[in-house]
Amino acid sequence: MNSANFKLKTIGVNKTTESLNNLVFYCKDFVFAVGQKSIITIYNNNVDYFFELKSIKFFKNNIFLEGFVTMENSDVGRISFKYLP
């Protein structure tokens, strides 16, 4: 995990992703371009997930990322993260 550049804490889930609630994920650098898909590989405990970033919100010194995540069993669900500095 030392190669990780970002830490993201799960702060919002739906029924499909509830097992990921309050976990911290790691990811490497990524680029978000408006109007283009942004698929990011995130990981926790050596398990990779694909996160499709839909929005980034900046609010009172916090950064929130929202989108969809593909679970280990290939189900897809909504998820929200808070960036941890």
| 74 contact partners, CB below 8 Å, separation of at least 6 | none
Instruction: Answer whether residue 2 shows pLDDT above 90.
Output: no
For the segment 4-30, the average pLDDT, to the nearest whole number, is 90
Of the candidates 20, 31, 36, the one whose C-alpha atom is nearest the C-alpha of residue 8 is 20
Q: What is the pTM for the complete model shown? A: 0.86
In this predicted model, what pLDDT tens digit does every residue of 42-57 receive, in sequence order? 999 989 999 999 999 9
84 three-class SS: strand
